[in-house]
Amino acid sequence: MPELPDILLYMHALEPRVVGRRIDAIELGSPFLLRSVDPPLDRATGRTVAGLRRLGKRIAFELEGELFLVFHLMIAGRFKWSEKKPPADAKRSARPSALVAIRFEHGTLSLTEAGTVHRASLHLVQGVDALAAHDPGGLEVLDLDAAAFDRALKGSNHTLKRTLTDPHVFSGIGNAYSDEILHAAQLSPFRMSPGLTADESRRLFEATRATLETWIDRLREQAAGAFPSKVTAFHEEMAVHGRYGKPCPRCGSPVQRIVYAANEANYCATCQTEGRLLADRALSKLLKKDWPRTLEELERRRSGTPTS
C-alpha cells in the first residue's frame, strides 16, 4: 500500500500536472470504484482543480466550488499519467484496465489496480465537513516534537508495530516503513508502546522522522521530475522490509519475518530482539517445543549441528 513517502511523491508529481487545470471528462471504468452517490460524479466535470490535500493515505483533489475527489489507493491502486491528447470521443479515452480516467486538455490521469480483488475507492464529497469524515485523524509525525510523539505513542496500549501503523494515531505510516523505522530504532516490532523508556521513545521518534524524510527525498530524486511509474512497497535500498533471509545491513544477520493476517513484520533478531526469534503464530503452534527460540539455535538447525 502506498504510504506517506509514496503519497507525497504522487502529490509532488500531480501538482504541476493537474492543479489549475480544468477536468474535461471523467470516465468510470469500474462502477465498484465509486463509493458515493451524492453529489453525482458528473458534477466534477468542467471544474478546475484548485489544489491537492492528503488525508492519511488518501489523496483529495480540491475542485472549485468546495467539491473534493477523494482517492484511497489501498494495496494495489496506482495512478498513471499520459500526456497523449485524448480522442474526441470520450468513450474511447480510458484504457481497458483503468478503473477511472480523468481527462484534461493536456493529458489523462488514470487509476489502475492490480489483481482481481479491487479495494481502491473514489468518493466525491461536497464541503470541508464531508471531506473531514475521510480523515482518520492520525498525527503528522513530521510536524510533531518528541514530547507530542511520546504522548501519542504511549496513549495506545498496543505493540509498536500496530501503534505506528494505526491511522488514528499516526498519519501515513504502513507496513513497509514501520519495519524500516523499527529497525533504525533497534526496537522489537512487538514491544508494547507504553513500556518504552524515555530514551527508547526519543530514539523511535528520531528514527521515524529520519526514515520518512530520507525516503521522501530519495523517491523524489529517483523520479527526477517524471511521473512515478513504479510505486511499490519494496525497494532494494530498504534494510529489512521485503528482505527475508538477506543480511541485515547493520550486523549481517539474516532478516527474519513473521506473517500474520494480511501483513508481515520484518526484523533483525540481532539488532532488535537481542537474538530472540519472535514466534510466528501458525508455525510456532505447529512446531511447539521444536520452535527455535534464538537466532543461534535456528542457525545450528539449518547447518545440521545438533543442539545441546
Residues 149 and 293 in one domain: yes
Q: For residue 107, is pLDDT > 60?
A: yes
Burial classification of residue 300, based on how many CB atoms lie within 10 Å of its CB (0-12 exposed, 13-18 middle, 19 or more buried): middle
pTM: 0.89
Domain that holds residue 26: 4-132
Q: Which residue is it, cell 472549485?
A: 64
Domain for residue 305, yes or no?
no
Q: What is the pLDDT of residues 207-230, one digit of tens each?
A: 999 999 999 999 999 999 999 988
In DSSP terms, 125 is beta-bridged to: 68
User: Among residues 119, 117, 18, 2, which one has the least CA distance to residue 56?
Assistant: 2
Question: For the chain, how many structural domains are there in total?
Answer: 2
Cis peptide preceding 247, ω within 30 of 0: no
Establish if 261 belongs to a structural domain.
yes
166-175, 177-186, 240-249, 276-285: least confidently modelled range: 276-285
Could you read off the pLDDT of 55-67 as tens digits, one per residue? 999 999 999 999 9
Same domain, 175 and 286: yes
Distance of CA 37 to the CA centre of its chain: 27
Mean of the per-residue pLDDT values for the chain?
A: 89
Tell me how far CA of residue 21 lies from CA of 16, 24, 47, 120, in angstroms. 9, 9, 8, 24
Show which of 115, 132, 149 is a domain's final residue. 132
